[in-house]
A and B are shown apart, each in its own frame.
Chain A
Amino acid sequence: MIPTPKVDWLALSPTLALLGASGVALLAAVLVPEWMRKAVAAGTALAGFVLAALLAGVVFDRSPDSQALLSESMTRDRLAALAQVILALVGAAVVLLSWEERRRGSHAEYYALLAAAGAGMVFFVGAGNLMTLFLGLEWFSLSLYVLVAIDTERADSLEAGLKYVIVGGFGSAVLLFGSALVYGATGALGFAQIAAAGAEGDALLLAGLAMILAGLAFKVSAAPFHMWTPDVYQGAPTSLTAFMSAATKTAAMVVTLRVLVTAFPADSDLWTVALGVLAAASLAWGNLGALAQRDVKRLLAYSSISHAGFLLIAVAAASERGGEALLYYLVPYSAMSVGAFAVVAARERELTRPVTLDSLAGLGWERPFYGVALWVFMLGMAGFPLTGGLFGKLFAFSAAYDAGDAWLVLVGVAATLVSLAYYLNVVRWLYMRPGPELRAAPVAGGAPPRDPALAVAVGAALAVTVGSFVLAQPLLDLASAAAASLPF
C-alpha cells in the first residue's frame, strides 16, 4: 500500500477556499445565464476572500509555533497567516470596487481570475522551499497577466498586459535560474536545509541569492527592477491596479523577508547591504519619477515604487523589529493604496476617461467623502500623523537605526520630504485650484453614478488607515507575533 502523506488541511484551507471560489466563478461564466452572471461570480469571489480571511485568522490563532508541512514544502506559521489575512481582505475590497467597472462581458472570468490570483498569493506566502515559491509566484503572476489585459477593447490594457508578461516572465526566469544555482551549491531546495547546508560565502550560492533577490525585486517593483510598474499600473483596469499595488507587494515583501531570513541567514551581512541599496534606489527613483507625473495612476505607481523602498528599509534591518515594522506597515500601506486607487476608479467612472491631475480639480468640494478620503490617503502615504503611515515609517526608521543603518533613516527622511511635493499637489488639485481651472475641468454635473460598493471599500480603507494609527499597539502585537515565527 502506498503511504499517504499527512495533509494539514487547515493550513491549506485559505488557498483551497479561494481556489474553490475561482472554480465556481469560472463555471458561472459558462453555466449561469448572462443577466445574473456578474452577481454570482462577484458574490462567489467575495465569499471566497472573506472565507479565506477567516480561515487564515483561525490558522493564525492556532499556530503559535512554526510547522513545516508536506515534506517541508510549505510552512504553517503566523507570518504566513497574517499575510494571508491582509491579502484576503485586500481581495475582498477589490471585489467591492470592481463591481461597477465598465466591461464588455467577461465579468465572471475577471472574478474567477482575481480569486485565482488571490489563491496563488495566499499559497506563495506559505512557501517552504524554492519549488513551491516558484510555483506560487507563477500561479498568481499568470492570473495577473490575463487580468491586466482583460479589457481587450482598450489598447492600453493590452499593451500593459504584454509588457507585464514579458518583463514578469523575465523576472520569473531570473528567479528560477537563481533557484537552480542555489540548488547546485547546496543540493537542497527547502529554506531550512539551504541554511543548514553551510555553503555560506560560496560563489554559486551568492550568485543564486542575487538572482532570487532580483526576481523578487521585480515583483515588489523595487528600483532598478521597477520599469514595468508605471505602464502596467496605468494600463490595467483600475480596480486591478489597486489589487496589484497592495496584494502583490504584500506577498512579495513577506516572501522576500522569509527567504532571506530562513534560507540565507549566514550571508545577512551581504544581503542587508544589497537591500539597503535597493531601498535607497527605489526611494530616489520612485519619488523623483512621481514628481513629473500628470496621470494619477502613474503618480501612484511611482509612489508605490517609493513605498517598496520604505518597506525594504524594514527588511534590510534583518531583525525581529524590522520584521514587525514590515508587517505593520503593510497594513496601512495596503489600505491607503487600495483606497487611493478606489477614489481614482470612482472619478474615472464618472468622467469615463483616464484621471489626470486636472480632472481631480474640485473633486474635494463636489464629492466631499471621496475628497476627504483621498486627502487622508495622500497624507498617510506622506507619513503624516493621524494615519498609520506615520507609524509605518517610524517603526521602519527605528528598526534601521537600531540595526546601525542611520544612513537609511536619512535617505528615508529626504525621500519623504521630496514626496510631499506630489502628495500635497494632489491635495492642492482636490481643493485649491482657482476658478478658471475649475471651469476647464469637466464638470460631470448631476448626481454622481451611484456606487455603494466602492464607497464601502473606500470607507473601510479609511477606517484601517486611521485605525492603525490609534490602535497601533494591538496591530504591532499581531505583527510581532508573525515576525517571531522567523528565526532571526
Chain B
Amino acid sequence: MLTTALIVLPVAGALLVAALPLTRVGSAGLAFLVALLEVGLWVVAAARFDFDAGGLQLGTTREWVESLGISYAVGFYGFSLWLAGAAVIVFAAAIGYALWAGRDRPRAYHALMLFLTGAVVATFAAQDVLLFYVAFEAMLIPLYVLVGVWGGERRLAATLTFVVYTMAGSLLMLAAVVAFGVTQGTFSLAGSGTSDNTWIFLGFAVAFAIKAPLFPFHGWLPLAYRQAPVEVAAVLSAIVSKTAIYGFLRIALPKFPEPADELSVAILLLAGAGLVYGSLLAFRAPDLRGIVAYSSLAQMGLITLGVFAVDDLGLDGAVLQSVNHALVSASLFLLVGMVERRCGTGDLAALGGMARGRPVLATVLLVAGMIALAVPGSTTFAGEFLIMAGVYGQGWGYAAIVAVGIVLAAMYTLRLISAVLHVRPGPAVREEALDLRPGELALVLPLVVCLLGLSAWPALVSQSSFPGDDPVRALAEELG
C-alpha cells in the first residue's frame, strides 16, 4: 500500500494543482508541499523497510489483464528504494527551485512536474515488465511538454530530438516486452523465468542505453540538457537517467544472464569509451551546462561499468554511485541555474570572480564540486573506488579506464569551479549580483547535507542495496 501511495500521491497532487484555480505562488507552493509530503512518505517507507531481510518488500500485486498475465505489481528492493529516495529528494528540490524562479503558467508546469514524479517512482517500483514500460513511457509525456514549452530558445528542436531518440528505444523495448511476455506466458518479473534470446535483450538494452544515455546513443543529450529549464535538466540528468540503471539491474541483467554475459565486453567497452569521451567533452565545453551535461554522460558510463562488471563490489558501487550522481548532478544543475539567473549567461568566458563577496555561493559550489570530483573521503570516492575494484575482475584495462575517468573528473570540475568563482570577474558578473539567498540555500543545502552524510557512511547505501548484501547471488536467484 505504501508503495502505491508513493505513486498515487504526486499524481493526485498533479490533478489537484491543475484543477484548483490558485495564484502563481499558490499552485507552486501547493506543488512544493506535495513534493515534501512525498519525501516524508518515502522516509516512512524507508523506516519500515527491513534492509537485512531479502526479497521484495512493501509489495502490492493485483491482477490487471489476467488473460495475458499482466499485473499491477509494485514493491522495492534495497537498491530501488535508494533510487526512489534520491528521486523524491531531487524532485522536491527541483519543484522548490521552480517555485522560487517563478515559472509561467504555473498550474500546468507544476502539475506536469508532479506527474513526472509519480511516473519516476512508478518506474523504480515496477515489478512487471509491462507496468515498467507504462511508467517508463509515461515519463516522456510531461518531459516532452516541460522542455518544449518552458525551455530555452531552441526548445522545439531539443524536445523533438529527445522524444524521437527515446521513443525509438522505447518502441524497440515494446517489441521486446511483447516477445518476452508472450514467450514467458506472463509479464510479471517475479513470475517469469530467464530468457536466452539475444534480440529481446538487445531491445531492452538499447532502450536503456538511450535513456541513460550511454555512448554512442547520447545524441539528444547536449541539446536537451542545455535547452530544458534548469530544474528539468537537473531531473533529467539526476533521476530520469537512473531509470535506465534500474532497468539494467532489474530486467536486463537478471532476466537475460546469458546474452548479458555474451555482450558484456561490448557494453563495457562502450561504457568505458563514454566515460573518457564524456569527460573530455566536459573539459572542452564552453558553458556551465555543457560541463555538467557531459559529466553526466561520463558518470553514466562509469555506473554502467559497475553494473556490467557483474561483481559484488561493482554492483554495490553502481548503486551507491547512482545515488551520489543523482544528488551531485541535481545540486550542480541548480547551482548553475542560480549563477545563470544572476549573470544571464552560462558562458564560461563571461563568468568569473564570483567568490569575492559571495561566501555562501563559493562554499556551497566548492563543496558540491569537491564531492563531484570524488575527493578521497567523499561518498563519490567510495562509489568510484567500488566500481574500479569491481571492474578490475573483468580486466585491469577497465580499471585503468576508470582511473583515467577519475582524473579527468577532477580536471573538468576544477575548471567549472575556477571559471565561476576565481579568475577575474567576467563581463557578465555585475558587482551587485547577490550571494545565495536563504531560500536558494534551503534548496541546495539538503542535497549537499545528504552527500556529506553519505560521505561519512557510504555503507548505508552500498551494503543495503541487495538482499543479504550479496548482489551477484541476488541477481541470479532472487531477481532472475
Tell me the bound Cα distance from A416 to B66 in angstroms: 26
Contacting pair B148 A431 (CB below 8 A): yes
Contacting pair A427 B133 (CB below 8 A): no
Nearest chain A residue, comparing its CB with the CB of B131: A385
> Which of B161-169, B357-365, B403-411, B437-445 lies on the face that meets chain A?
B161-169
The count of residues in chain A whose C-beta lies closer than 8 Å to any C-beta of chain B is 35
Nearest chain A residue, comparing its CB with the CB of B134: A385
Q: Does chain A have a CB within 8 A of B130?
A: yes
Within 423-455 of A, Cβ neighbours of B (below 8 Å) are at 424, 427-428, 431-432, 434
Nearest-neighbour CB distance to chain B for A385, whole angstroms, equals 4
Nearest-neighbour CB distance to chain A for B121, whole angstroms, equals 15
Q: Does chain B have a CB within 8 A of A384?
A: yes
Nearest-neighbour CB distance to chain B for A202, whole angstroms, equals 35
Contacts of A379 in B (CB 8 A): 141
Tell me the bound Cα distance from A335 to B174 in angstroms: 23
Tell me the bound Cα distance from A31 to B51 in angstroms: 80
Contacts of A431 in B (CB 8 A): 145, 148-149
Nearest-neighbour CB distance to chain B for A470, whole angstroms, equals 9
> Which of A114-122, A185-193, A295-303, A393-401 lies on the face that meets chain B?
A393-401
Contacting pair A391 B156 (CB below 8 A): no
Contacting pair B65 A480 (CB below 8 A): no
Tell me the bound Cα distance from A411 to B411 in angstroms: 47
Contacting pair A473 B175 (CB below 8 A): no
Q: Does chain B have a CB within 8 A of A290?
A: no
Nearest chain A residue, comparing its CB with the CB of B140: A384
Tell me the bound Cα distance from A428 to B156 in angstroms: 8
Q: Does chain B have a CB within 8 A of A386?
A: yes
Contacts of A410 in B (CB 8 A): 175
Contacting pair A401 B156 (CB below 8 A): no
Tell me the bound Cα distance from A417 to B133 in angstroms: 16
Tell me the bound Cα distance from A379 to B159 in angstroms: 16
Tell me the bound Cα distance from A365 to B134 in angstroms: 27
Contacting pair A473 B179 (CB below 8 A): no
Q: Does chain A have a CB within 8 A of B100?
A: no
Contact indicator per residue, chain B 106-139, by CB within 8 Å of chain A (1) or not (0)? 0000000000000000000000001001110110
Q: Does chain A have a CB within 8 A of B396?
A: no
Pick from B70, B163, B175, B181: contact of A409, CB under 8 Å: B175
Q: Does chain B have a CB within 8 A of A420?
A: yes
Contacting pair B164 A394 (CB below 8 A): no
Q: Does chain B have a CB within 8 A of A182?
A: no
Q: Does chain B have a CB within 8 A of A413?
A: yes
Contacts of A34 in B (CB 8 A): none
Contacting pair A432 B138 (CB below 8 A): no
Tell me the bound Cα distance from A428 to B144 in angstroms: 9
Contacts of A472 in B (CB 8 A): 64-65, 70
Q: Does chain A have a CB within 8 A of B171?
A: yes
* Contact count band on B: 35 or more
Nearest-neighbour CB distance to chain B for A118, whole angstroms, equals 31
Within 360-390 of A, Cβ neighbours of B (below 8 Å) are at 365, 379, 383-386, 390
Contacts of B145 in A (CB 8 A): 427, 431-432
Tell me the bound Cα distance from A125 to B156 in angstroms: 46
Contacting pair B182 A385 (CB below 8 A): no
Contact count A vs B, C-beta below 8 Å: 84
Contacts of A391 in B (CB 8 A): 65
Contact indicator per residue, chain B 172-197, by CB within 8 Å of chain A (1) or not (0)? 10110011011000000000000000
Contacting pair B148 A413 (CB below 8 A): no
Tell me the bound Cα distance from A195 to B440 in angstroms: 76
Nearest chain B residue, comparing its CB with the CB of A417: B171
Contacting pair B65 A476 (CB below 8 A): yes
Contacts of B23 in A (CB 8 A): none
Q: Does chain A have a CB within 8 A of B63?
A: yes
Q: Does chain B have a CB within 8 A of A8?
A: no
Contacting pair B137 A416 (CB below 8 A): no
Contacts of B65 in A (CB 8 A): 391, 472-473, 476
Contacting pair B172 A480 (CB below 8 A): no
Tell me the bound Cα distance from A484 to B162 in angstroms: 43
Tell me the bound Cα distance from A434 to B149 in angstroms: 9
Contacting pair B178 A397 (CB below 8 A): yes
Q: Does chain A have a CB within 8 A of B105?
A: yes
Contacts of A473 in B (CB 8 A): 63-67
Pick from A395, A416, A432, A434: contact of B171, CB under 8 Å: A416
Contacting pair B178 A420 (CB below 8 A): no
Contacts of B134 in A (CB 8 A): 385-386, 390
Nearest-neighbour CB distance to chain B for A325, whole angstroms, equals 10
Contacts of B181 in A (CB 8 A): 398
Tell me the bound Cα distance from A162 to B455 in angstroms: 77
Tell me the bound Cα distance from A424 to B141 in angstroms: 10
Contacts of B367 in A (CB 8 A): none
Nearest-neighbour CB distance to chain B for A483, whole angstroms, equals 11
Nearest-neighbour CB distance to chain B for A372, whole angstroms, equals 9
Contacting pair B178 A476 (CB below 8 A): no
Contacting pair B156 A432 (CB below 8 A): yes
Tell me the bound Cα distance from A324 to B67 in angstroms: 11
Q: Does chain A have a CB within 8 A of B423?
A: no
Tell me the bound Cα distance from A434 to B70 in angstroms: 42
Tell me the bound Cα distance from A434 to B163 in angstroms: 19
Within 441-488 of A, Cβ neighbours of B (below 8 Å) are at 472-473, 476, 480
Contacting pair A476 B67 (CB below 8 A): yes
A-B contact pairs, 23 of them (CB 8 A): A384-B140, A384-B141, A386-B141, A394-B130, A394-B174, A398-B181, A401-B179, A409-B175, A413-B175, A416-B171, A417-B167, A417-B168, A428-B160, A431-B148, A432-B145, A432-B149, A432-B155, A434-B156, A472-B64, A472-B70, A473-B67, A476-B67, A480-B67
Closest 4 CB pairs of A and B: A385-B134, A432-B148, A413-B171, A385-B137
Chain A positions near chain B (C-beta within 8 angstroms)? 324, 365, 379, 383-386, 390-391, 393-395, 397-398, 401-402, 406, 409-410, 413-414, 416-417, 420-421, 424, 427-428, 431-432, 434, 472-473, 476, 480
8 new A-B contacts, CB < 8 A, other than A393-B174, A421-B164, A431-B145, are A383-B174, A394-B68, A401-B182, A420-B167, A428-B148, A472-B64, A472-B65, A473-B64
